[in-house]
Amino acid sequence: MDLKKAVVLVTGGSAGIGRAVAESLGTAGALVAITGRNKERLAETARAIGAHPIRADVTSEADVQRTFREVMEKFGDLDVLVNNAGIGIFKPLTAFSLEEFDRVLATNVRGPMLMAREAARIFITRNRGNIVNISSTAGLRGAPNFTAYSGSKFALRGMTECWRGELRKYNIRVLLVNPSEVITGFAAGAGLAQKDHPSKLRGEEIGHVVKTALEMDDRGFIPELSVFATNPVD
């Protein structure tokens, strides 16, 4: 697709991978809207990268529906949805509370479903569109203390395959991107120790991958891809 003047909506676009994806697509000429829950950070990012900010929580059906109304009022169209918003809580199975488990699944599973549902309703009427789900290599294999996070990413991978099967006949491309470790504020926010190193992935690499995948001619698409650092050093 030609990203020039394409309308793109990125959830969780105020920081980390989401910000990098939004900036990459905006630099390519797309008209970008970003969502986030932190009002100040959302406004700062929107100013910095030239995006339209929408304060919204992807777990709220009312917020999701308002988000799409605002995008359509602002731009009059939608070409790409990037489902990026996500959270992580990492602890042993025996230490998980139900509230913690439900919180992760609400953001990482319910959120993408609500966003994709509304986007698909628009895309089907236009007989075109793109949904990009930002998952994780944690959705390909489990690990200790990853019950909620890996479980949510396995679920996102499964939903992606379902949506792809449903929507291909409408010329809607559904892509899954699985980053391995990326240096962002995500780990610190989830209480995980993370050491920065020039050999590790940055959000920019994921932004490049999303941009490149979308720029393929609309007659084809990349269903799923994983992104690893070449030789990461801890």
**Could you tell me the maximum CA-CA distance found in the chain, to the nearest angstrom?**
50
Residue 1, in any domain of the structure: no
Rounded to the nearest angstrom, the gap between the alpha carbon of residue 185 and the centroid of all alpha carbons in its chain is 15
Coil, helix or strand at residue 5: coil
Residue burial 156-193, b: 16+ Cβ < 10 Å; e: rest? bbebbeebbeebeeeebbbbbbbbebbbbebbeeeeee
* Structure confidence by residue, pLDDT tens digits, 41-81: 999 999 999 999 999 999 999 999 999 999 999 999 999 99
Residue 2, in any domain of the structure: no
**129-134 and 172-179: which strand pairing?**
parallel
Residue 195, in any domain of the structure: yes
Q: What is the CATH number of the domain that holds 105?
A: 3.40.50.720
User: What phi and psi values does residue 24 have, to the nearest 5 degrees?
Assistant: -60, -45
Q: What is the pTM of this model?
A: 0.96
- Which residues are the active-site residues? 149
Identify whether the C-beta of residue 175 lies closer than 8 Å to the C-beta of residue 224. yes
**Per-residue pLDDT at 207 exceeds 80:** yes
Give the domain extent around 171: 7-227
The residue count of the chain comes to 234
